[in-house]
Structure 1
């Protein structure tokens, strides 16, 4: 029996209503032509904080506010911290966000601009998390995990509800894979509607903690590297309570991508979809362009790529668009 229930997801949807966008699901002509099947983009890029993370953070903080909480701390690779800062400001809660030195400066600045305190600690997500957890007993904070929390997962699961309601015949959903909060939530909601829906996780080749943990059969530590998909960095926690098991039980395939592939995905999104996306958001597009999504699954019917965020440094984005090879844009995949 799952630790998460559909009732949890529907409660999350009611709790975040009016605070979070119901995001568009649009068909991509260019990607549909390449895949030989209808390809849709779920655009979490339009959220007020530019990322899906606002869903889980808002659900978790709104619940804490109901309990009288007035001070929270979290660890983040950037987008979760921004979401916590946004939700905290709206709810009148004090927020502190711990981040590593690998978090891009634009994401740190965005957290501070929303009124939260940003603490830069160490060179990995794990070090930032240790600092956040230290503050819980020492300074009386409530901790808001970036992914391994049922209320965060339930908030992200509302994306899955929106997908299956808008596209009941969806055959496959491609989800960026990191700590597993997004993947577990979407997969749970989608497979609760139709167990036959395929769930494919996509991540970068270097430092992919959930992929390594699934291969090992248990949560493991991985070295964290700089990557264009910076939002997918960090460990899943050796004491992972929820997202590892949920992801293990619900995932159908995992795909790893090179940095060059991620860059091509970012460039394609801009050139062909008129979308500015960060590296983590481009991995589904990149996997489709590279032809590495399982062909037997793709041929089954409509495919949804979850486009998770737009929070890329614009100087870096310009450089990628100017230099990324368009070679992957020029061939048919299937």
Structure 2
């Protein structure tokens, strides 16, 4: 359900950050994001358990991964998305022959609707809070262990915490517990930063960021628990910085990604105790299919004006 993705050295980002920087190219997964790993694993497992239908809630990327997996498995899929989901993301989900239902102004509202559709013959594929997802996402670190020497830190973006939990699980099972994690978010969608400060998940009153893929108003419990077991540092950047990170990936590496992904690139040059000590880091280019080139340019123009 997913590909082993390339790991490349980025000389432009290494020069900018002053750290040897490698990129794990999850944007080239069949569905355009890392979600293919955990979602694909979960869909396969739930079908083995007898599920005849798959139901998901998503801002776009997780839903596309469920739709892709369902089509390949021959299982019908329904994805409930909020009104903020882009037309492009909805179109891609529908191209995978999945039913798309638009409901609510946020993922939380779409999720509540999706749960009402679950019955005895169906399985609910959560976009970030399921141990099956984390086990699938952990394969990213399995690949890193085969592809290169151990880094000092892994930089990744956090929405609901699924990727973070997967990477932490992967670090643990590969004996890389000493590798730090830098968790990047955008201001206005910084539910993980606030959770770390509070010591437990915090429900944001609303998402106030263009990085819609980071739009979980509260992270999963396990992501906070991992912060007690491994070294995890939160870095929060602005929407403008996240868009700039996307444009850097596009200009330097020909990769089109969402601001949720650009946040990780932006975090490289932010004040960070982890990165100040690191000599070698891996940035997870988590991808995203909800934007196009023109939208990035429009945002960049807006932020510069």
Say yes or no: TM over 0.5: yes
In structure 1, what is the equivalent of residue 207 of structure 2?
A: 225
SS at match of 2:54: strand
Counterpart among 221, 242, 255 of residue 262 in structure 1: 242
Q: Does 1:302 align with 2:284?
A: no
- How far apart are the structure 1 equivalents of 2:276 and 2:144? 17
Counterpart among 14, 19, 24 of residue 32 in structure 1: 14
In structure 2, what is the equivalent of residue 7 of structure 1?
A: none
- How far apart are the structure 2 equivalents of 1:121 and 1:40? 39
Deviation at 1:218, TM superposition (A): 1.8
SS at match of 1:199: strand
SS at match of 2:85: coil
In structure 1, what is the equivalent of residue 296 of structure 2?
A: 317
The residue correspondences of 1:14-25 to structure 2 (distance < 5 A) are 19-25=1-7
Q: Does 1:207 align with 2:189?
A: yes
In structure 2, what is the equivalent of residue 292 of structure 1?
A: 270
Structure 2 residue runs without a partner (length 5+): none
- How far apart are the structure 1 equivalents of 2:145 and 2:205? 36
- How far apart are the structure 2 equivalents of 1:279 and 1:115? 27
Calculate the aligned-residue CA RMSD, in Å: 2.0
Deviation at 1:226, TM superposition (A): 5.0
Conserved? CA contact 1:164–1:170, under 8 Å:
no
SS at match of 1:135: coil
Conserved? CA contact 2:187–2:209, under 8 Å:
no
SS at match of 1:250: coil
Conserved? CA contact 1:174–1:201, under 8 Å:
yes
SS at match of 2:171: helix
Deviation at 1:273, TM superposition (A): 2.2
Conserved? CA contact 2:157–2:260, under 8 Å:
yes
- Taking structure 2 as the reference length, the TM-score comes to 0.92
- Taking structure 1 as the reference length, the TM-score comes to 0.84
Conserved? CA contact 1:176–1:280, under 8 Å:
yes
TM-superposition CA deviations, 1:263-298 (whole Å, max 9, x none): 11111112222221111111111122xx21425534
- How far apart are the structure 2 equivalents of 1:28 and 1:241? 34
In structure 2, what is the equivalent of residue 104 of structure 1?
A: 86
Counterpart among 53, 58, 61 of residue 43 in structure 2: 61
Q: Does 1:151 align with 2:132?
A: yes
Conserved? CA contact 1:178–1:232, under 8 Å:
yes
Deviation at 1:190, TM superposition (A): 1.9
